[in-house]
Structure 1
Amino acid sequence: MPPETTSSRIKRDRAATRARLLDAARLRFARDGFDGTSVRDVAGDAAVDPALVFRYFGSKKKLFDEATAVPEPAAELFGGPREELPARLLGSIAFQDWPSHAGEHPLIAMLRSSGHAETRERLREEVCETYVRALAELTGGGPDGDLRAELFSAWMLGIGVLRSVIGTPAITGATPEDLEPHLEKVIAALLERG
């Protein structure tokens, strides 16, 4: 194996520094939102000079956009049995641990920053293009199929917000098994099995 060159070491260090900044930003934005997070906070958490945030990301807004990007939906989320999709979606939003985002779904960081028009638009696109679209296929169509898919999405996101942002005792203490009979009732009311 050839010895490491100075150039490759610098590239590796740059990549590691950028990754540390991104990790620190994900946690800060998830906890404190856009307005509650400063470039200095993120740089301090990553143990680097704040100027590096601008060098690697250009602006706080660009750092936020990259840090709050929702990962592509996993194949197991949308690739499993169709009739189990609502339970998988609810599990992803309300019960899955997202350690890179302070334990919460990346949508929660965007919700905490929804006072910004651009963030609201990103959030709307993410919810509509990922969750509502998938659920609309389970409604059986009809004139109110999209409405029913959005109502189910609102129910799921509401559970996620009550668990992670507000921390209401009953929902925070609930397990997926506790929610299962209620999930079945909401599915029966809004979606079709098929």
Structure 2
Amino acid sequence: MTDSTGDAPARRSAETTRAAILRSARDRFAAHGYERTTIRAVAADAQIDPSMVMRYFGSKEQLFDAALTVDLHLPDLSAVPPAELPELMVRHFLHRWEHAPADDALLMLLRSGVTNEKAAARLHEVFARQVAPALVAAVGPQAAARAGGVVAAQLLGVAVTRYLLRLPGVVALEPEQLVAALAPAIAATLGITPKSG
């Protein structure tokens, strides 16, 4: 096979091929979720044979795992006064979601987690490993253990309704309105007095 100049096309390195597969997979998982994404479609987007996807990743599940490295980029909360924590967390997550690229791994997990148990488990793992320790550092282990799951539900609820389901009443809110509505709820969940505004 030759390109338009008549020369044989340059062969991709293994690293380049792997990166192209992951990029295509992230786009597909972000747009269609786990269930509707196929190895054949990922391969077509990456302009390679489907067998190459299997060669590099073994299965659709392994490809999904590789495509979903999620870093929430939470700041160190240990020095944050408890009264300021709810607002800081809401602002952090809103900023992350408002400026997320189309192939954002966290949004991919949210979209896929609704129908796929593996994606839901991965989402739980991300919050358990990143949000829970941040809450422990800020409010102590007892409050974090008691309320961490509900805080995650509150934050993820905004993401699902605003960015995936796009409920008009939630989409219409300005970020500051969401902060004003959600921060007191998170403060109540954690049992702390929120910052007075």
Q: TM-score, normalised by structure 1?
A: 0.76
Cα distance in 2 for residues equivalent to 1:18 and 1:91: 35
Q: 1:42 to 1:85 in 2, by over 3 A?
A: farther
Return 146-155 or 89-98, whichever deviates more.
Answer: 89-98
Map of 1:1-194 to 2, 5 A cutoff? 13-71=13-71, 73-74=72-73, 77-79=74-76, 82-83=80-81, 85-96=85-96, 97-99=99-101, 102=102, 104=104, 106-114=105-113, 115-139=115-139, 142=142, 145-191=144-190, 192=192
Alignment gaps of 5+ in structure 1: 1-8
Cα distance in 2 for residues equivalent to 1:41 and 1:138: 44
Match of 2:3 in 1: none
CA drift of 1:134 comes to 1.9
Q: Between the two proteins, what is the percent identity of the paired residues?
A: 34
Alignment gaps of 5+ in structure 2: 1-9
Cα distance in 1 for residues equivalent to 2:15 and 2:27: 19
Equivalent pair of 1:162/1:171 in contact (CA under 8 Å): yes
Amino acid at match of 2:153: A
Return 81-90 or 53-62, whichever deviates more.
Answer: 81-90
Cα distance in 1 for residues equivalent to 2:118 and 2:179: 35
Aligned-residue RMSD, C-alpha: 2.8
Q: Which has the higher contact order (CA 8 A, sep 6+)?
A: 2
Q: 1:103 to 1:19 in 2, by over 3 A?
A: closer
Amino acid at match of 1:40: R
Q: TM-score, normalised by structure 2?
A: 0.75
User: Aligned pair count?
Assistant: 178
Q: 1:55 to 1:155 in 2, by over 3 A?
A: same
Any idea what the Cα deviations from partners look like across 1:157-191, whole Å, max 9, x if unmatched?
A: 00000111100123223332122222332243123
CA drift of 1:93 comes to 3.7
Cα distance in 2 for residues equivalent to 1:53 and 1:88: 41
Amino acid at match of 2:109: M
Equivalent pair of 1:25/1:67 in contact (CA under 8 Å): yes
Amino acid at match of 2:150: L
* Partner SS for 1:48: coil
Q: 1:180 to 1:148 in 2, by over 3 A?
A: same
